[in-house]
């Protein structure tokens, strides 16, 4: 498993689930994945960053966390991937 897949599964998904629950998290991830044409399994560095940025631009995320909260999450997710 790549470090980006691990970061998605261990940092991104849990943070979203704690705020939105599993069902809405899946919708957010699916929307972000479609927006940047990223797979959800075996993601590369480029896909991971695009996916995280798309998640943080999702209106549901901005409404819940605010713009600065979404940017903080983005920064934390980059660190979680070792970037």
Which DSSP string do the residues of 39-62 spell out, in sequence order? -SSS--HHHHHHHHHHHHHSHHHH
Domain ranges of the chain: 3-80
Our CA angle for 15, 17, 76, nearest 5°, is 10
What does pLDDT average to in each consecutive run of 10 residues of the chain (83 residues)? 91 97 98 93 92 97 97 96 87
């Amino acid at each position: 498993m790549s470090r980006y897949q691990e970061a998605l599964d261990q940092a991104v998904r849990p943070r979203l689930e704690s705020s939105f629950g599993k069902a809405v998290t899946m919708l957010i991830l699916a929307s972000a994945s479609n927006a940047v044409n990223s797979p959800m399994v075996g993601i590369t560095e480029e896909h991971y960053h695009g996916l995280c940025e798309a998640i943080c631009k999702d209106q549901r995320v901005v409404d819940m966390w605010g713009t600065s909260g979404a940017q903080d999450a983005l920064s934390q997710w980059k660190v979680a991937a070792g970037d």
